[in-house]
Structure 1
Amino acid sequence: MRDRIVEAASHEIRRRGLRFTMGDLAKRLGMSTKTLYGVFPSKDELIAEILNKAIAELQHKEKEILNNADLGTLDKLKKCLILIPADFQFIEMQLITELQRYYPSQWDQLDQFLNKQWDSITELFHEGINQGLLRSFNTKIFIDLYVGGFYRLIEDSAAPKSSITLHEGLRDMGEILLSGIIKKEG
């Protein structure tokens, strides 16, 4: 039942953002709100469960990428920098803004994950430097730029004109950070 509720709530989030109500969700599931609240005592707990699953999925995908012997260091790095949970692949950045504004505890959880999950990426950086694929650079500054860029994408998403998805934003940002903006000659 718990998984069924999480799946339905994820669908509602993709459809309506975080503005769905527990009553809407109960109706979608064909159950009473009392039953729903028996499983998830609050919408906050439901959102936290969805976020926990998303973070676990990211960690699993990262591990798969890192253990894939068919991928080179640079390919692993590129793939890891644009990892997004499958359910959130095409969401608009506005959803992250809603999470930040209306669900501060869950936002803190995501914020901590964003700032502390860099060990594997740092190892890839060092591997790339040792292989001569990357020039030596300050990895902490790269991470700060990436996280800061992510936060900026969130801020920009609050503007009515923004229509970029999370995937598009991370892809473009990762490409710029890894390749730079200087046009290659030849």
Structure 2
Amino acid sequence: MFSMYRDMMDTCGQEGVMDGETQQQLRLRIYEATIEEFREKGFKFTMDDMARRLGVSKKTIYQVVRDKETLFFDTATYIYEQIKRSEQAVMDDDSLTTVEKIKAILIAMPDSYSELDWRQIYQLEKSYPRIFARVRVMMEQQWDNTIELLRRGIDEGVIRDIPIPVIKTMFEATLEKYMETTVLIDAGLTFDEAVQYTLDVLMDGISCKKQKLL
């Protein structure tokens, strides 16, 4: 009974909220709308843009998130949770070899996020330093599964016995560079393209393999 009363209170007075929609459901819609606005406009979208996309008033949005910085912070956490789910799906896929899992988990991301322009993350450092710091912490925290796979690969003899902190630092520092500077924009590369190149270099090196003579 208390749960039903709480859900009724969550939607009470929220103009434009869908019939029967709880505050948690609205919150998830807000996160997804934030992702879509970022996809189209980067960080320049306004709360008016959000209200139009959601079909609610700004007042309703502010009942869920305090301000735009909170919106970005909470959405970043939401994206991180979705990425972790994608990683777990890779870990649970018994059809993949250890090497295939390592390659997949290093770039694990829901398909709906693959077109986001992650190159713009560097803009957060000046405008929203708290969120930028949060993104860096989340990047640091998402290595548990990867480290487990690297150790397994070394034990199986399919990965060279290179100190894991070296591998981790190489990949992590490269991604941070992509996000903290305009290097990819200047080079005309998308974030996905750059990450794939980085993964190829990490796994296969940069030397051309010699072709066998016929």
TM-score, structure 2 as length reference: 0.79
One-letter amino acid of the structure 2 residue matched with residue 149 of structure 1: T
For the pair 1:94 / 2:141, whether they are aligned, the reply is no
Distance in 1 (CA, whole Å) between partners of 2:111 and 2:128 is: 21
For the pair 1:10 / 2:35, whether they are aligned, the reply is yes
Larger radius of gyration: 2
Instruction: State the partner residue of 2:90.
Output: 65
One-letter amino acid of the structure 2 residue matched with residue 3 of structure 1: L
For the pair 1:108 / 2:133, whether they are aligned, the reply is yes
Instruction: State the partner residue of 2:45.
Output: 20
Structure 2: stretches of 5+ with no match in the other structure = 1-25
2:42·2:117 contact (CA, 8 Å) conserved in 1? no
The 1:163/1:91 distance shift into structure 2, 3 A limit, reads farther
The 1:156/1:106 distance shift into structure 2, 3 A limit, reads closer
Distance in 2 (CA, whole Å) between partners of 1:30 and 1:119 is: 40
- 1:176 deviates by 0.4
- 1:101 deviates by 3.0
For the pair 1:134 / 2:159, whether they are aligned, the reply is yes
Instruction: State the partner residue of 1:34.
Output: 59
- CA RMSD in angstroms comes to 1.8
1:97·1:154 contact (CA, 8 Å) conserved in 2? yes
- 1:12 deviates by 0.6
Output one character per residue of 1:77-102: Cα deviation in whole Å (capped at 9) or x when no partner: 00011123434312224321223332
Instruction: State the partner residue of 2:9.
Output: none
Distance in 2 (CA, whole Å) between partners of 1:87 and 1:118 is: 22
How many residue pairs are counted as aligned between the two chains? 186
Instruction: State the partner residue of 1:184.
Output: 209
- 1:160 deviates by 5.3
Identical aligned residues as a percent: 27
* Bigger RCO of structures 1 and 2 (CA < 8 A, at least 6 apart): 1
Distance in 2 (CA, whole Å) between partners of 1:51 and 1:39 is: 15
Structure 1: stretches of 5+ with no match in the other structure = none
TM-score, structure 1 as length reference: 0.90
Output one character per residue of 1:44-77: Cα deviation in whole Å (capped at 9) or x when no partner: 1111221111111111111110111100000000
For the pair 1:74 / 2:81, whether they are aligned, the reply is no
2:150·2:159 contact (CA, 8 Å) conserved in 1? yes
- 1:138 deviates by 1.2
Distance in 1 (CA, whole Å) between partners of 2:116 and 2:138 is: 19
148, 156, 171: which one aligns with 1:123: 148
Q: Which moved more, 1:31-40 or 1:135-144?
A: 31-40
